[in-house]
């Protein structure tokens, strides 16, 4: 009897404990109550301190002033400070020596990996498999969290239609539908369903907004875009991130139609908060608040702080204008107390949701065993392989036989440990990079002779290494030439006026080709290059991108056939830089291009078509896509629709089905892509728009039925009154392996 009573008491106690929410499970009302209690106790200086983020050193160390600022409650967040011991040292000061014991939020650019580096985001988008991006972000989150980092400034969601822009490397390319799929996946990977969970971190959707549309592809530059273009092209990936629960958003550097993004009430307040109901906080990009003066919007530092705060920026990165001028702005009535309190409230809300108040420290014992775990390294290799794109493969040049007698590995990027990591490489280390040369040597049989010659540098004009490279190619059975860009030629502040291979790399390729030996070009790069001569002459081309820590092994997996390439381009490859901007989902003109009609929209000196279209990519096997069918030839329209949820109420929907068959001799992947065109509408519509895709794996001879569903969300657009509508009329439906090679049918949306 006593034992039974004891069991009942233990059970009751357990139920009570389960009913008490932890920081990760707190009800919103409980969090708001705790925020209110804190706000009531905070001085103005402490409030402004929460709005301040300062950077640490590049090596992860904090700066000496951070200790004193945190002790006084004047610093709410840092960036670049990392390592469990360092972050704990600062956090102990916050939690034990500051008056209010508000924890510090540690941020770092974990873009495509922390220590285990995955392919650059543009490469991952080439997989057309958002699940891979979710997986890599999840691994990156685990490594970063165990190193004391609780917040990443990722994912970057900027649509990029101009490959001259260096930061095209950080996004998912030119298409809003594909980019939206990857946006949601990356947010889920970093944050999960609860970013206070032990292996998750806070994500940040950046750069809000239209940063990728800068004039001339020049970084930080001006944008002039209609609201339709903003809503249809540049907003959707951010909406997908908000729908996925992203906790923070970063305001961009660029000017948008005369109002810089870091002081833009339309984007920061009307759209983000009022329309989309985002309740996290906005952090400015690095000194973008102070740069409002350079833009000519703000007259001075004080004016810049006023404009940014009132527009909706909550946390200021690196510059200190909120802190320095907040008291005067409040005293003069230029910023209201409610505005300051709301910014603080938003930041505290995220810190509570992140679990920082209850679990501020990092277990220092976890960090050494967390980084570069075998399963993480294996995932990096797999994801890199699935992200590469076979651009050309005449006469089945690839894959190579592992027992081939001799291979010449040539080029400035064949044994470069830094380039595969890309520009934002987290806390990645060059010593952990597998180069292409190392990957090839590890793959071939002991009898295979692998020779190496650099040939030239990436950038300079010297050709002194050509003779050695040519001689090596002549004495080998095949030549693999690795050319492209160095790591410092991509990323932030890396705009280029030319898309040609830099230095003498093209001349090196030509010299190797002229030996008459089978030549394979492998591109190591972060943007589409202009390589028309290579495409016209070299029999095999592999776009490997900047593939991360395991790039060399992944390249070898594909070159020797252990992995069948299945990636597709997420961005159009131009023939020449003069074609830029060139993207698949353009509007038609009144005079579409015609080869034999001078007075149509085209160039005199180059074809109007791209070198490679959006969605393009080959395989070692072949596929057929046939039997395109629709569930209905006509569906009823439902008039105006306010775009507030992902799946809109519809009076009808169309199911699209096709057969995809592997008609080759190898197992492989095909990406089945669905495009539509609204033929005639109240506003001109693109010639085609991606509205669905599926990557499928098929054995030789296997056929599969692939299904898509078109609803109002895919069929609608923003009209002249800025309402999301589905209009009556004819719609073309196109399905194929890329944006050009399509089979087609149509259906009608009937009038009401």
Q: Which residues are annotated as catalytic?
A: 285
Beta bridge partners of 743: 735
- Encoded tokens for 623: 């596929």
**DSSP assignment of 705-735:** EEEEEE-HHHH-EE-TTS-EE--SEEEEEEE
E strands, 209-312, are 248-251, 255-256, 259-260, 281-284
Cα–Cα distance measured from residue 538 to residue 481, given in angstroms and rounded to the nearest whole number:
11
Cα–Cα distance measured from residue 334 to residue 208, given in angstroms and rounded to the nearest whole number:
25
Q: Residue holding tokens 């939690």?
A: 95
- Report H helices in 205-252: 227-229, 236-243
Whether the CB-CB separation of 384 and 547 falls below 8 Å is answered with yes
Backbone angles phi, psi at 461, to 5 degrees: -100, 10
Whether the CB-CB separation of 124 and 112 falls below 8 Å is answered with yes
Cα–Cα distance measured from residue 665 to residue 620, given in angstroms and rounded to the nearest whole number:
9
Whether the CB-CB separation of 670 and 700 falls below 8 Å is answered with no
Whether the CB-CB separation of 673 and 692 falls below 8 Å is answered with yes
Backbone angles phi, psi at 730, to 5 degrees: -90, 140
Q: What is the distance in angstroms between the CA of the first residue and the CA of the last residue of the chain? A: 74
| Distant-in-sequence, close-in-space partners of 635: CB < 8 Å, separation ≥ 6 | 650, 651, 652, 653, 654, 747, 748, 749, 750
Backbone angles phi, psi at 483, to 5 degrees: -135, 165
**In the chain, how long is the greatest CA-to-CA distance?**
99
Beta bridge partners of 725: 640, 717
- Encoded tokens for 78: 């840092």
């Amino acid at each position: 009897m006593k034992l039974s009573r004891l069991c009942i008491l233990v059970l009751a106690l357990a139920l009570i404990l389960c009913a008490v929410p932890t920081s990760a499970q707190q009800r919103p009302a409980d969090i708001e109550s705790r925020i209110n209690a804190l706000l009531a106790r905070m001085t103005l200086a402490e409030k402004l301190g929460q709005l301040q983020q300062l950077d640490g050193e590049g090596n992860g160390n904090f700066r000496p002033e951070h200790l004193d600022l945190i002790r006084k409650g004047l610093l709410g967040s840092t960036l670049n400070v990392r390592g469990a011991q360092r972050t704990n040292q600062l956090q102990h000061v916050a939690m034990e020596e500051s008056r209010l014991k508000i924890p510090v939020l540690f941020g770092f650019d974990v873009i495509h990996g922390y220590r285990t580096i995955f392919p650059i985001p543009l490469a991952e988008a080439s997989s057309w498999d958002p699940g891979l991006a979710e997986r890599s972000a999840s691994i990156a989150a685990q490594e970063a969290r165990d190193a004391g980092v609780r917040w990443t400034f990722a994912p970057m969601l900027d649509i990029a239609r101009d490959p001259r822009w260096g930061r095209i490397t950080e996004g998912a390319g030119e298409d809003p539908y594909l980019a939206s799929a990857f946006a949601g996946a990356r947010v889920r990977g970093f944050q999960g369903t609860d970013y206070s969970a032990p292996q998750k971190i806070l994500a940040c959707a950046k750069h809000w907004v239209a940063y990728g549309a800068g004039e001339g592809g020049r970084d930080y530059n001006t944008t002039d875009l209609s609201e339709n273009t903003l809503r249809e092209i540049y907003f959707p990936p951010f909406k997908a991130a908000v729908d996925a629960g992203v906790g923070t958003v970063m305001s961009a550097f660029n000017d948008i139609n005369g109002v810089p993004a870091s002081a833009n009430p339309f984007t920061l307040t009307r759209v983000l908060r009022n329309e989309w109901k985002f309740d996290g906080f906005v952090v400015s990009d690095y000194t973008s608040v102070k740069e409002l003066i350079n833009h000519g919007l703000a007259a001075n530092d004080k004016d810049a702080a006023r404009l940014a705060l009132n527009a909706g920026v909550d946390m200021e990165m690196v510059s200190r204008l909120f802190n320095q001028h907040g008291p005067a702005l409040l005293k003069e009535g230029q910023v209201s107390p409610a505005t300051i309190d709301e910014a603080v409230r938003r930041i505290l809300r995220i810190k509570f949701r992140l679990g920082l108040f209850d679990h501020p420290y990092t277990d220092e014992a976890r960090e050494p065993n967390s980084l570069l775990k075998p399963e993480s390294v294996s995932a990096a290799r797999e994801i890199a392989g699935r992200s590469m794109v076979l651009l050309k493969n005449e006469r089945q040049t690839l894959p190579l036989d592992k027992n081939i007698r001799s291979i010449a590995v040539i080029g400035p990027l064949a044994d470069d440990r830094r380039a595969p990591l890309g520009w934002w490489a987290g806390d990645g280390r060059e010593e952990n990079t597998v180069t292409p040369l190392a990957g090839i040597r590890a793959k071939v049989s002991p009898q295979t002779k692998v020779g190496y010659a650099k040939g030239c540098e990436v950038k300079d004009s010297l050709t002194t290494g050509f003779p050695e490279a040519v001689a090596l190619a002549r004495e080998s059975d095949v030549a693999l030439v690795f050319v492209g860009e160095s790591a410092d030629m991509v990323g932030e502040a890396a705009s280029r006026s030319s898309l040609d291979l830099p230095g003498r790399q093209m001349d090196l390729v030509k010299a190797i080709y002229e030996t008459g030996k089978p030549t394979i070009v492998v591109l190591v790069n972060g943007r589409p290059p202009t390589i028309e001569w290579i495409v016209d002459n070299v029999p095999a081309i592999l776009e490997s991108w900047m593939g991360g820590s395991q790039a060399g092994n992944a390249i070898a997996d594909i070159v020797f056939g252990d992995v069948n390439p299945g990636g597709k381009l997420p961005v159009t490859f131009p023939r020449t830089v003069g074609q830029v901007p060139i993207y698949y989902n353009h509007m038609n003109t009144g005079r579409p291009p015609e080869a034999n009609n001078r007075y149509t929209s085209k160039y005199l000196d180059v074809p109007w078509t791209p070198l490679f279209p959006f969605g393009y990519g080959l395989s070692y096997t072949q596929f057929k896509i046939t039997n395109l069918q629709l569930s209905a030839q006509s569906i009823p329209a439902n008039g105006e629709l306010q775009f507030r949820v992902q799946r809109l109420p519809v009076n009808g929907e169309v199911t699209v089905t096709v057969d995809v068959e592997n008609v080759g001799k190898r197992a492989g992947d095909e990406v089945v892509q669905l495009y539509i065109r609204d033929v005639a509408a109240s506003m001109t519509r693109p010639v085609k728009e991606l509205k669905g895709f599926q990557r499928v794996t098929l054995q030789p001879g296997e056929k599969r039925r692939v299904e898509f569903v078109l609803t109002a969300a895919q069929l609608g657009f923003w009209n002249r009154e800025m309402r999301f509508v589905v209009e009556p009329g004819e719609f073309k439906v196109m399905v194929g392996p890329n944006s050009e090679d399509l089979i087609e049918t149509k259906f009608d949306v009937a009038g009401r």
